[in-house]
Chains A and B, each alone.
Chain A
Amino acid sequence: DAGITQSPRHKVTETGTPVTLRCHQTENHRYMYWYRQDPGHGLRLIHYSYGVKDTDKGEVSDGYSVSRSKTEDFLLTLESATSSQTSVYFCATGQNNQPQHFGDGTRLSIL
């Protein structure tokens, strides 16, 4: 596997609070991604990064921001969490034209 660690694994927080999820990889993959998984929707891409400080929006980027200051770390931030952002969040990594590797997911509940 690509040595992907997501933290925290579980989090419960209140509406309006900021939340940051962290993804750490040990394989030096160029690309990193954040997805959310919701019933009936599969995984949807939130943001992705193609290098340090190089990021772009995915399909469902509203309400989320990301940062990548080092190759190994990709942070996802919810500036002001809303109940609609309750979901399971997956980080993934990949190289050009190679299948992506996924982390174990973070279950986020916003009350």
Chain B
Amino acid sequence: AQTVTQSQPEMSVQEAETVTLSCTYDTSESDYYLFWYKQPPSRQMILVIRQEAYKQQNATENRFSVNFQKAAKSFSLKISDSQLGDAAMYFCAYRIAGNMLTFGGGTRLMVKP
């Protein structure tokens, strides 16, 4: 069975600073997808960024980027120039073909003004 582990239940960052959220996963598959989702207090789940395992280049989306280490099975999210609106729960997720997402337990990010 695949598992996704987020070892940081809570993180805090000063506004305009950079923060990195950790995620590790366990799988025997070679072809899969990794995601980071943001869940603000409204409870809506918002896709932040995705990474295909076959791509060596790390995905980036504006202020959000990932550090994908396939051999280490690590998929961390870096948020640059943190903003107050970045405060939320962040979930790392993994999926193989067939659309079965496996989520980590989440990291609550607090942004200090």
Contacts and interface: CB of A to CB of B under 8 A. Distances in A.
Nearest to B101: A100
A44 B103 contact: yes
Quick one: which of B4, B6, B33, B103 has the most chain A CB within 10 A? B103
Contact of B104 (A42, A58, A99, A101): A42
Contacts, number: 50
Interface residues of A, number: 22
Interface residues of B, number: 22
Contact of B99 (A31, A44, A104, A105): A31
Interface of B: 4, 6, 9, 33, 35, 37, 42-45, 47, 50, 91, 93, 97, 99-101, 103-106
Interface of A: 31, 33, 40-45, 48, 58, 88, 90, 92, 94, 96-97, 99-102, 104-105
Given A43-B45, A48-B99, A104-B43, 10 more contacts: A33-B99, A40-B9, A40-B106, A42-B6, A42-B104, A42-B105, A43-B91, A45-B101, A97-B33, A100-B99
20 contacts: A40-B105, A40-B106, A42-B91, A42-B104, A42-B105, A43-B45, A43-B101, A43-B103, A44-B103, A48-B99, A90-B45, A92-B45, A96-B97, A96-B99, A97-B97, A97-B99, A100-B99, A102-B37, A102-B44, A102-B45
